[in-house]
Amino acid sequence: MSNKKGPYLHTEARVSRMVFDMILAAVVLGVFSAVTYGPRPLLVMAISLITALACETVCCIIGRRPLRMVLDGTAAVTGLTVGLLMSPMVDTWVPMVGTAFAIVVAKAPFGGTGRNVFNPAAAGVALLTYCFPQQMFTYPSIQSQHALPMELILDKSEVVTEVSLAAQLKTGAIPSIDRLDILLGNYTGAIGTTAFLILLTLTCYLMVRRTVSPWIVIPYFATLALITWLFPLSSMNPVNSFLLQLGSGYVLFAGVFLINDPVTAPRFWLGRLVYGVLSAALILLMQRVGRFEAGTCFAILLINAFAPIIDRWSWHGWYRLTHLRQKREEVLE
Amino acid sequence: MQLFLRGIVLPFQKGKALERGIENLTPDSVRLPVATDDSVFPLAQLSPDTLKGQGEELCLLDGMPVVSTISGTVEGTLMIHHPLYGPLQCADVLASGSAESRLPIPKEEELTPDAIIEIARQAAVYDELDGIPLWEKLTHWQMTDEDLAPLHSVLVADGTANDVFGSAPWAVLKDQPGMVLYGLQMAAKAIRFTRCHIATMLPKKRRRALKKAVGRANVYIVGDEYPVTVFADKHMETYRIGVQACLALAQAIKQGKRHTHTVVTVAGSALPAPRNFRVPFGTDIDVLLSACQAQGGYRLVLGDAMTGITSEYRHVPLLPGMTTILAMMPRRVRTPGPCIGCGRCADICHAGLLPYEIVRRSENMHYERLQHLSPTACDGCGACSYICPAGRDVAAEVIEAGKTKGTVFLHWGEDDHE
């Protein structure tokens, strides 16, 4: 006699659906970048993706995990995220190093999918930022109409480069860029970070599909707005200041991809709210006083370390608050 | 589209539940639990003579008789491992007729609270929500809530049919709404409550008919979320009994009838259409399933689709506390993946727990941390297992954690004999 308990119904929501959403978002961003720079961004993303899958396969074999776990897609999302944070003219070995570090060092040793403490993509990009800032932060000019050559290692002298918004802000200069140009993504930057309106649209899409949690995203952007309103970039119009801050570095991109990684974010709604607020504050701090023009990944790693404790404390606080009345009654009895 | 997830709404699979009536079915034989020497229940001995002579069988389940109107000869007794009640010694009764002895009908002025509870006990009224005798529930509430009861408490007849397939409460409410209300009022009188109402989630058309039948003030419409947790206005303390228990109490008081029949919904994906049957206690479930032309290869589920229990043994007697029987086609069960931390289980938990954290602690053997997460507050509604995108049976793991609570080592080897 066997009595199996458990619901005989299940929602249609699946992890695969969430992963599909993220991959779709990444592909949309890649295509937008390809429109400007030619197919090279897609090549960078593809190399990153293949490296991620290969590393995950090796890790599964070594860790004696079933090989089907490679196909759950989380490694693909990590690979694509690293690819999206590359400069379109980066040498192709750079995303390979970043992705391999992400999977082999930041994900697999912790136990694979669902157990990593730090966002693998953020860890990979942080390593690259620290070791190869030249590769990471040299961006092709948006003005040149020629598609980037498809060679694996570009001759940098052939490409017209341009200083990114974040680098201009870092030197204390105020970039002379129109509000409309920012919204249309008419500035240079990493592959996935310049499509301003598309990123905002993707955020809404992912929120409606419940792939990302509004409890993180909305506090994140609200805090960014509040901080840029309170401390605008050198006497600028707050709206311009806000848009410029979002467009510089990975700030807007992080709001869609990096901080919303469910594995490394808190899961309780109050914890998520606190996490959103804190990550916005830390990212802006890193962006403004940090050494690199894009310090977002360091901020993400820092806040990831505190995510479990934020989660636990916020739940305990909330549970005690809501169950205070009952407890008092119990004590009275 | 709900942006912030709060509670879940299950798909509506009741079919044409609104028009469905109740069919009467009398089986050829019934199986009723009897007393044995080593019985776990405090049961009374049953002699076959009683059965033949009186035409009425009285035997006890949990200290209370299960009454049947079937009279006949005892073919023999056998041990049944009942999926809900554990091992039970059952008597096979081959029906030869039916007989019924009635209770004396009390006058209106004799109906004191204690008298009502006594009637519920003599008529063997069970609450179909949990299979507990009604008189026990009422006595318990009467004792505990003597001083604060009337003002902030309300007695609710649960007519929500809060599962995917079940429609028995709706059918009962459609059939005899007046009697249900009378039984509810009597039960409320027994525990000295001034407020009581019927809680239901009927669609609009039927709501109006019900309100017309029992009065607008006596109906409370609940939300269609699963599980229903709000049965009355927020500041009210709710006490719940089943609709069928109300009906049985009313019939005992007005007509002197004992609680011998129950209305059960037989449904599921393996059946052409769901049906409601009124059958005596002790009816073999297999009889009901073959009456519904169930095809082979299905899986029998006792209870609703969220919290029910699978049974491979089909000759299970129908006992109080069972209102839904499902024959489900086996569905493809995916291999559960690792928790990716989407947090949906915490979003929809009506008890406000952190199911993922409880599961993680128990997987990592941090048993000493478990009690801070109050896993015992889980009532096993199964909503977290329903919503989990990784396909994990979260509810089962939380219940397990609540049971062991850090003493898991003491329970090792306990299940070995199964």
DSSP string, B157-169: EEE---SSS--HH
Tell me the pLDDT tens digit for each residue of B297-308.
888 888 888 877
Nearest-Cα residue of chain B relative to residue A212: B342
Q: What percent of chain A has pLDDT over 70?
A: 95
Tell me the pLDDT tens digit for each residue of B104-131.
898 888 899 899 999 998 888 888 888 8
Helix (H) or strand (E) holding B66: strand B64-68
Q: Which of B3, B313, B389 sits opposite A1 (nearest CB)?
A: B313
Helix (H) or strand (E) holding B32: strand B29-33
In one-letter notation, the amino acid at residue B116 is I
Q: How confident is the model at residue A251 (pLDDT cuts 50, 70, 90)?
A: very high
A267 within a domain of the structure (yes/no) = yes
B27 phi and psi angles, rounded to 5 deg? -80, 165
Residue B99 CB partners (closer than 8 Å, separation 6+): B54, B55, B56, B69, B71
Any A CB within 8 A of B12 CB:
no
Res A332: pLDDT = 59
Instruction: Give the ipTM.
Output: 0.85
Any A CB within 8 A of B342 CB:
yes
Q: Is the pLDDT of residue B146 over 80?
A: no
Q: Which two tokens stand for residue A36?
A: 């400007």
Chain A to chain B, count of Cβ pairs less than 8 Å apart?
A: 123
Res B406: pLDDT = 54
Q: Is the pLDDT of residue A292 over 80?
A: yes
Q: Which residue has the higher pLDDT, A43 or B376?
A: A43
Averaged pLDDT score across all residues of chain B:
80
From the CB of residue B209, how many other CB atoms can be counted at a distance below 10 Å?
Answer: 14
Q: Which two tokens stand for residue A118?
A: 């730090």
- Give the lowest-confidence range in A12-16, A64-68, B18-22, B411-415: B411-415
CATH number reported for the structural domain that contains residue A33 in this entry = 1.10.3430
Question: Measured between beta carbons, which residues in chain B are less than 8 angstroms from residue A119?
Answer: none
Nearest-Cα residue of chain B relative to residue A207: B3
Res A321: pLDDT = 86
Res B417: pLDDT = 46
Do B231 and B222 form a contact (C-beta atoms < 8 A)? yes
Strands lying side by side in the sheet with B29-33: B29-33, B86-98, B70-82
Q: What percent of chain B has pLDDT over 90?
A: 13
Which structural domain, as residue segments, surrounds residue A156?
A: 15-325
Q: At what angle do helices B243-255 and B177-190 cross, to 10 degrees?
A: 90
Q: How confident is the model at residue B43 (pLDDT cuts 50, 70, 90)?
A: very low
Q: How confident is the model at residue A331 (pLDDT cuts 50, 70, 90)?
A: low
Res A325: pLDDT = 64
What is the mean predicted confidence (pLDDT) over A192-196? Answer: 91
DSSP string, A131-181: H-HHHHT-EE-SS--SPPP--SS--GGGS-EE--HHHHHHTT------HHH
Q: CA-to-CA distance for A123 and A102, rounded, in angstroms?
A: 6
**Could you tell me the CA-to-CA distances from B243 to A5, B253, B272, B360 in Å, in that order?**
26, 16, 27, 40
What is the mean predicted confidence (pLDDT) over B185-207? Answer: 87
Rg, C-alpha atoms of chain B? 22
Q: CA-to-CA distance for A63 and A82, rounded, in angstroms?
A: 23
Res B40: pLDDT = 35
Would you call A272 and B343 a contact, using CB atoms and an 8 Å cutoff?
Answer: yes
Q: How confident is the model at residue B184 (pLDDT cuts 50, 70, 90)?
A: very high
- Give the lowest-confidence range in A13-22, A310-319, B40-49: B40-49
Domain count along chain A: 1
Q: Which two tokens stand for residue B35?
A: 């007393």
Query: Between residues 64 and 103 of chain A, which touch chain B (CB distance below 8 Å)?
Result: 69, 72, 74
Nearest-Cα residue of chain B relative to residue A260: B342
Q: Which domains does chain B have, with CATH numbers?
A: 23-100+260-328 (no CATH), 108-255 (3.40.50), 344-417 (no CATH)
Q: CA-to-CA distance for B282 and B30, rounded, in angstroms?
A: 5
A7 within a domain of the structure (yes/no) = no
Euclidean distance between the first and the last CA atom of chain B, given in angstroms as a whole number: 46
Most confident of A69-78, A144-153, B74-83: A69-78
Residue B339 CB partners (closer than 8 Å, separation 6+): A114, B356, B359, B360, B390, B392
Any A CB within 8 A of B402 CB:
no
A2 within a domain of the structure (yes/no) = no
Give the DSSP letter of residue A106. I
Q: How confident is the model at residue B413 (pLDDT cuts 50, 70, 90)?
A: low
A71 within a domain of the structure (yes/no) = yes
**Helix, coil or strand: residue A63:** coil
Averaged pLDDT score across all residues of chain A:
89
Res B44: pLDDT = 32
Q: CA-to-CA distance for B288 and A114, rounded, in angstroms?
A: 46
Tell me the pLDDT tens digit for each residue of A216-235.
999 999 999 999 999 888 77
A306 within a domain of the structure (yes/no) = yes
Res A54: pLDDT = 96
Would you call B357 and A311 a contact, using CB atoms and an 8 Å cutoff?
Answer: yes
Do A259 and A220 form a contact (C-beta atoms < 8 A)? yes
Q: Which two tokens stand for residue B410?
A: 């003491």
A227 within a domain of the structure (yes/no) = yes
Res A263: pLDDT = 93
Residue A276 CB partners (closer than 8 Å, separation 6+): A215, A216, A217, A218, A219, A220, A223, A259
Tell me the pLDDT tens digit for each residue of A6-56.
577 777 778 889 999 999 999 999 999 999 889 999 999 999 999 999 999
Q: CA-to-CA distance for B12 and B201, rounded, in angstroms?
A: 12
Tell me the pLDDT tens digit for each residue of A269-286.
999 999 999 999 999 999
CA B90 to chain CA mean position, Å: 21
- Give the lowest-confidence range in A226-230, B37-41, B352-356, B375-379: B37-41
Q: Is the pLDDT of residue B316 over 60?
A: yes
Res B130: pLDDT = 80
Q: CA-to-CA distance for A312 and B196, rounded, in angstroms?
A: 40
What is the mean predicted confidence (pLDDT) over A102-118? Answer: 92
A1 within a domain of the structure (yes/no) = no
Res A25: pLDDT = 96
Do A287 and A248 form a contact (C-beta atoms < 8 A)? yes
Q: Is the pLDDT of residue B39 over 70?
A: no
Would you call B386 and A7 a contact, using CB atoms and an 8 Å cutoff?
Answer: yes
In one-letter notation, the amino acid at residue A151 is E
pTM beyond cutoff 0.80 = yes
Would you call B386 and A11 a contact, using CB atoms and an 8 Å cutoff?
Answer: yes
Q: What pairs with residue B33 in β-bridges?
A: B90
Tell me the pLDDT tens digit for each residue of B228-286.
888 888 778 888 999 999 999 999 999 988 888 899 999 888 888 888 999 988 888 98
Q: Which residue has the higher pLDDT, B8 or A254?
A: A254
Would you call A18 and B307 a contact, using CB atoms and an 8 Å cutoff?
Answer: no
Buried b or exposed e, range A211-247, using 16+ CB within 10 angstroms: bbbbbbbbbbbebbbebbeeebbeeeeeebbbbbbbb
CB-based burial of residue A112 (10 Å sphere; 0-12 exposed, 13-18 middle, 19+ buried)? buried
Tell me the pLDDT tens digit for each residue of B84-102.
777 777 778 777 766 667 8
Res B60: pLDDT = 46
Q: CA-to-CA distance for A95 and A44, rounded, in angstroms?
A: 7
Res B412: pLDDT = 54
A190 within a domain of the structure (yes/no) = yes
